[in-house]
Amino acid sequence: MTLSSALQSAFWFDSRPLVLASKSKGRRLALEQTGIPFIVRPVEFDERLSEREILQQGKGADEVAKRLARGKAIEASRSEKGSLVLGADQLASCENRLFGKPATIEQAAEHLRFLSGRTHRLHSAALLVRDGAVLFETVCHADLRMRLFDAGFIAKYLAVVGSDALASAGAYQAEGFGVHLFEQITGDHWTILGLPLLPILAALRREGVLLA
């Protein structure tokens, strides 16, 4: 038995692995650090359409993030009967604007131009679902201040990160090359990654599937 499997058998009590309803590299990396056995089951879910519909109802960033995370988790739960499913989503807000994943490199550049020199807030939602029933739900926050940079820097940054700029709210992954965008970060590391681990682990312990 490897060290990893020994840790899993000692700490994880569910007969099935946790299901992560996300294709995010950052969330997968965060969950790997816990030693919890999990499988990745991203779903076909039109986040931008759902986001627009929720915003038209006058909902704020927290509610948008929660509903998007819930939609993905419940969809994944349909094909993972009996399994615990972890859903997550993240939005950024700044001066009454909301920023999800940019649709194009041009939109990513526009987002970065606006956020340059400003502090924005990340809203990271997570929830646990089993057989369509929501067992736990939370939204955690982090505040990040970007440096003041010019159009030339933005162009070079986007040339380096390429399509990765389209994978996260705000057009960056702070755990990677995106760290060059910032002058100050306040908040939980895992919340910034898009998966607030500490409340998730507490919820798993309450569910009796993780060593307390």
CB atoms closer than 10 angstroms to residue 42: 13
Question: Pick the catalytic residue: 14, 46, 62, 89?
Answer: 89
What length does the chain have? 212
89 an active-site residue?
A: yes
**3 state SS for the chain:** CCHHHHHHHHHECCCCCEEECCCCHHHHHHHHCCCCCEEECCCCCCHHHHHHHHHHCCCCHHHHHHHHHHHHHHHHHHCCCCCEEEEEEEEEEECCEEECCCCCHHHHHHHHHHHCCCEEEEEEEEEEEECCEEEEEEEEEEEEEECCCCHHHHHHHHHHHHHHHHCCHHHCCCCCHHHHHEEEEECCHHHHHCCCHHHHHHHHHHCCCECC
- Residues serving a catalytic function are 89
